[in-house]
């Protein structure tokens, strides 16, 4: 792993006026970080479709890998269809819309593990993978702060793709996060610039959410069945079936497994992340 002073980078970002910053790039085994350079407006030069995996990465696991892999290989409508025009951003937010108090103690470790995941994804997908930080909690604000890092002349030709699970898709369209502004007004500009790549979750009998329910939800949007969600937004949603092996994965489940001394967690993180966790005795 290219050495990155994650604590220094994190503290600098938290003390700055920036709301988004790329701190690391991995490409074909050559790694670069912005520790001293900062973002110069050309950080995403040549990228026309940026897939954004926004997560806690606490720790990164195979579910993250699967979501990233599927999105990069996916054939989007009106896509550029050139791998060199696509890139992946691993994004860590220091704020969360549901959890107002962040956990700064563990952020530096998460950054280091994100770098390890970025190197692994770049190697296997043969694309640029960035690691970025944001202070924004809402997808709308994150999207526009990221767009500012593209050349202004090219911003109309850029497509951002947020990679999410079905639960997150439902939350994005939950009006309570945007009050007193209406959902349509709050998300109109966002949905003009963004696609949502969504993986299904396994059938949830407890909450009565089946696989068919999830696909029907997107179809209902396209058929204008929801008063607050315009039908045209459905064209920006790409719902794909998740892998059975990764559907049950979560960072919290892995942390619990480590704490309980169950070595099974090692099957669900890449080798470098596993070594990092073990070397620092994390999550115990």
Confidence label for 206 from pLDDT (cuts 50, 70 and 90):
low
Separation of alpha carbons 169 and 163, rounded Å: 9
- At 157, the pLDDT band (50, 70, 90 cuts) reads confident
Q: Is pLDDT at 1 greater than 90 in this prediction? A: no
Q: Are 92 and 107 in contact (CB under 8 A)?
A: yes
Instruction: Report the distance separating Cα 21 and Cα 7, nearest Å.
Output: 15
Average pLDDT over residues 37-56: 79
Query: Comparing 105-114, 119-128, 163-172, 186-195, which segment has the lowest mean pLDDT?
Result: 105-114
Q: What is the pTM of this model?
A: 0.90
Whether pLDDT at 79 is above 80: no
Residue 41 has pLDDT above 60, yes or no: no
Domains of the chain: 6-247 (3.40.50.620)
Residue 4 pLDDT: 82
Q: Tell me what pLDDT residue 117 has.
A: 96
Per-residue pLDDT, averaged over 54-83, amounts to: 85
Segment 1-16 shows an average pLDDT of 83
Report the Cα 54 to chain-centroid distance in Å.
2
Query: Tens of pLDDT along 221-267?
Result: 999 999 999 999 999 999 999 887 777 788 999 999 999 999 999 99
């Amino acid at each position: 792993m290219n050495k990155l002073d994650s604590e220094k980078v994190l503290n600098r970002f938290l003390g700055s006026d920036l709301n988004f910053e790329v701190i690391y790039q991995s490409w074909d085994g050559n790694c670069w970080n912005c520790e001293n350079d900062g973002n110069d407006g050309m950080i995403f030069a040549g990228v026309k479709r940026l897939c954004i995996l926004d997560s806690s990465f606490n720790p990164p696991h195979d579910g993250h890998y699967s979501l990233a892999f599927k999105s990069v290989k996916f054939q989007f409508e009106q896509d550029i269809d050139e791998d060199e025009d696509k890139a992946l951003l691993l994004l860590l937010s220091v704020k969360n819309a549901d959890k107002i108090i962040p956990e700064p103690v563990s952020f530096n470790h998460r950054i280091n593990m994100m770098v390890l995941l970025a190197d692994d994804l770049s190697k296997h997908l043969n694309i640029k993978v960035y690691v970025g930080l944001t202070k924004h909690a809402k997808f709308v604000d994150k999207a526009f702060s990221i767009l500012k890092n593209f050349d202004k002349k090219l911003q109309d030709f850029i497509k951002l793709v947020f990679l999410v699970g079905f639960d997150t898709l439902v939350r994005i369209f939950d009006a309570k996060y945007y009050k007193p502004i209406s959902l349509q007004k709050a998300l109109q500009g966002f949905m003009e610039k963004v696609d949502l790549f969504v993986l299904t979750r396994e059938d949830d009998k407890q909450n009565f959410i089946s696989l068919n329910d999830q696909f029907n939800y997107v179809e209902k949007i396209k058929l204008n069945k929801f008063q607050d969600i315009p039908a045209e937004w459905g064209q920006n949603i790409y719902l794909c079936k998740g892998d059975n092996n990764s559907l049950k994965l979560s960072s919290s489940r892995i942390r619990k497994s480590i704490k309980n001394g169950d070595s099974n967690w090692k099957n669900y993180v890449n080798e470098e992340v596993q070594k990092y966790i073990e070397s620092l005795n994390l999550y115990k």
